[in-house]
Structure 1
């Protein structure tokens, strides 16, 4: 089941491109405008490297928390978390397709943590050196996001810091194409990802993944 989790979460990160650009596109654009003179791609790579490390840290932390469960209760906890993760995946699909906005309500749960992190990120701006771009990405990885919450539940269910980090890291890999292409193709890419047929197709596929995986529990 762990391998299936990785595949599903990679696809969720990849197909959730419109959501990623909607939430992170603004900060990536602002990030680009205040970079030092010269090539910008190393800073964008640094930003996304930091973001992946941030996701990995979240995965390791929640995986470690899951490992504290007693062996007898672990299977029941895994089952509950698995169901919750698939329900969140379905909600993400409904949101991407434009059929429901319930996911935005769930994302508000992370606002208290994000308010504490934002002041630290502001201290790192504007970017003057490459390590700052990594640090900004590391903090940005904690932005409240339904996709991250879905991946975090799966990481918690692994009951392993290493596997939890792998779950979130691979999810982050899935989001990379959308955010790395935001430079020269930002306008075209954003318009394409927000087109109704792309949103509905991506949303329907995520919904299908969640439903199929829930159905597999009964087989």
Structure 2
């Protein structure tokens, strides 16, 4: 599901960053450019793993009692249905979720400072910050990491999410040319329906626990 969503949403959301840093690598050899790009993307995955750790721990706190966990699962399920719908409609709801105020207030300045540098460490730090950008897709998997109720499972879920997005962003130009917009929209629609179905399943499980 993460891979299918990456073929559309990730390309639209993070494609600009990939194009920007790729332009800086034009003067480097192909091997070195790939290493820089790979470090950037792996650092982004690492940021997701950290978010998964936090989300998993937060979810673990809600497993104190079955009834408490039931409410938690129900409301997270509602959130997933909301996210799935937002991904399909791609209107004001998604714009609200991916609010750029967080970006402009906390991430934009250090991102610009690092973008002006040309070191491997700077590229890694840029990738890490990229992973912290408000994104409906990231919220979806953070919610799933929370539902796992486990720190380890939370890290695994978010790491697998990050790894699943690597092909589309490492080979952005090839995939963008190879896949037409209709196919990308279909992948987005199918994946969003799965997200909504998982949300409904979580709501049902939570409802049973509350009863």
Which bracket does the TM-score occupy, shorter chain normalised?
0.7 to 0.9
Instruction: List aligned pairs for 1:153-172, cutoff 5 A.
Output: 153-172=143-162
Cα offset, 1:173, TM superposition: 1.5
Q: Secondary structure at the match of 2:115?
A: coil
The runs of 5 or more residues in structure 1 that have no matched partner are: 1-10
Cα separation, 2, equivalents of 1:142 and 1:152? 12
Cα 1:113/1:165, change in 2 over 3 Å: farther
- Runs of 5+ in structure 2 lacking a partner? 206-211
Residue 93 of structure 2 corresponds to which residue in structure 1? 102
Tell me the residue number matched to 2:106.
116
* Corresponding position of 2:208: none
Secondary structure in 2 matching 1:143: coil
Q: What residue is the counterpart of 1:137 in the other structure?
A: 127
- For 2:209, the equivalent position in structure 1 comes to none
Match for residue 75 of structure 2?
80
| Alpha-carbon distance in structure 2 between the residues aligned to 1:156 and 1:214 | 13
Q: Give TM-score scaled by structure 2 length.
A: 0.81
Tell me the distance in 1 between the aligned counterparts of 2:46 and 2:2. 18
**Contact preservation (8 Å) 1:82, 1:157:** no
Q: Distance in 2 between matches of 1:51 and 1:213?
A: 25
- Residues 200 and 27 (structure 1), Cα distance of their counterparts in 2 relative to 1, 3 Å cut: closer
2:29 paired with 1:34: no
**2:45 is equivalent to residue 52 of structure 1:** yes
Structure with more of its chain in helix, by fraction: 2
Aligned to 1:6: none
**Cα offset for 1:85?**
1.8
1:128 partner SS: coil
Cα 1:60–1:205 shift into 2, 3 Å: same
| 1:47/1:135 contact within 8 Å kept | yes
Secondary structure of the residue aligned to 1:71 is: coil
Distance 1:55 1:211 in 2: 22
CA contact (8 A) 1:114 1:142 kept: no
- Please tell me the root mean square deviation across aligned C-alpha atoms, in Å: 2.5
CA contact (8 A) 1:93 1:206 kept: no
